[in-house]
C-alpha cells in the first residue's frame, strides 16, 4: 500500500512539473549566433566601433582608423557577401549625395568592423564580390573586394574618366595606365550584370 502511495505521489509531481513547464515562460536570453547577430546590433541603443576608413581617392587614408557611432547610421541593408550562410550588415549614413557606408561582419563569434567607405556613389554585388564605387561627373573609381576569414580583401582597383573634360581618356588598374579594352575586360568581370544595393537599404526601427 505504501509503495502504491509513493508511486502515485511521484506520478503527480511529474505531471505537475510537465504541466508547469509547458505553461510557464522560460526566461533565457537568446544567444548571439551567426543567424541573429545583426539583429542585436540593430536593436542595441548605443554602440561604437573603431574601424579603418576607406576613401577611393586617397590611398593614405585607408590605413587610418576612426570611431563610428550608431546614431550616424539611420539605414541598413543585409548581404551575404561570400555566400557562407552568414549575412553581413551594411549601415548607411551621411548626406544623400555623398553617403558613407559601414560594413560589419560576424566572424568567430565576434562582430568585426571591416571598413567605413566614404563618398559612396554605389555599392554593387555580384557572385562572391562587393564593389564600392566613388566618383563624380567626370571620373569613377571602383574597388572590388572578397570577404575571407572576417576581412575584406581588395582584388581590383580601377579608375576611368567618363567625360570630355579629359582630352585623353584615362584607364587605370591598380594605379597603372592600361588600354581601354584591358580596363573594361576587368571592370565588366565585376560590374556587368551586378546589382546595386542602393534600393535595398531600409530605415532602422
Cα-flanking dihedrals φ and ψ of residue 164, to 5°? -75, 5
Instruction: Please report the pLDDT score of residue 19 as a whole number.
Output: 39
Q: Which residues pair with 49 in a beta bridge?
A: 68
Nearest to 65 by CA among 53, 47, 54, 57: 53
Element at 181 (helix H, strand E): helix 180-191
Provide the pairing of β-strand 88-93 with 75-79: antiparallel
pLDDT at 12: 43
Contact 170, 182 (CB under 8 A): no
Residue 96 is predicted with a pLDDT of: 83
CA–centroid distance for 200 within its chain: 12
Which pLDDT belongs to residue 114? 96
Question: Can you give the pLDDT at residue 181?
Answer: 97
What is the pLDDT tens value at each position of the chain, 205 positions in all?
A: 444 454 445 444 444 443 343 333 333 346 889 999 999 999 998 999 999 988 876 655 566 889 999 999 999 999 999 999 999 999 999 988 889 999 999 999 999 999 999 999 999 999 999 999 998 778 999 999 999 999 999 999 999 998 888 889 999 999 999 999 999 999 999 999 999 999 999 999 8
* Per-residue pLDDT at 203: 97
- Judge if pTM exceeds 0.75: yes
Amino acid at each position: 500500500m505504501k509503495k502504491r502511495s509513493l508511486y502515485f505521489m511521484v506520478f503527480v509531481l511529474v505531471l505537475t512539473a510537465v504541466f508547469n513547464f509547458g505553461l510557464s515562460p522560460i526566461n533565457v536570453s537568446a544567444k548571439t549566433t551567426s543567424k541573429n547577430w545583426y539583429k542585436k546590433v540593430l536593436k542595441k541603443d548605443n554602440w561604437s566601433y573603431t574601424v579603418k576608413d576607406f576613401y577611393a581617392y586617397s590611398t593614405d587614408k585607408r590605413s587610418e582608423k576612426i570611431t563610428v557611432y550608431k546614431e550616424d547610421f539611420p539605414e541598413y541593408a543585409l548581404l551575404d557577401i561570400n555566400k557562407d550562410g552568414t549575412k553581413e550588415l551594411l549601415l548607411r549614413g551621411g548626406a544623400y549625395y555623398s553617403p558613407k557606408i559601414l560594413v560589419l561582419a560576424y566572424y568567430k563569434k565576434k562582430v568585426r568592423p571591416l571598413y567605413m567607405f566614404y563618398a559612396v556613389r554605389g555599392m554593387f554585388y555580384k557572385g562572391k564580390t562587393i564593389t564600392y564605387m566613388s566618383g563624380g561627373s567626370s571620373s569613377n573609381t571602383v574597388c572590388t573586394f572578397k570577404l575571407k576569414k572576417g576581412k575584406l580583401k581588395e582584388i581590383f582597383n580601377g579608375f576611368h574618366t567618363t567625360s570630355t573634360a579629359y582630352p585623353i581618356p584615362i584607364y587605370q588598374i591598380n594605379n597603372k595606365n592600361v588600354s581601354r579594352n584591358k580596363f573594361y575586360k576587368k571592370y565588366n568581370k565585376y560590374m556587368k550584370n551586378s546589382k546595386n544595393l542602393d534600393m535595398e537599404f531600409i530605415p532602422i526601427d
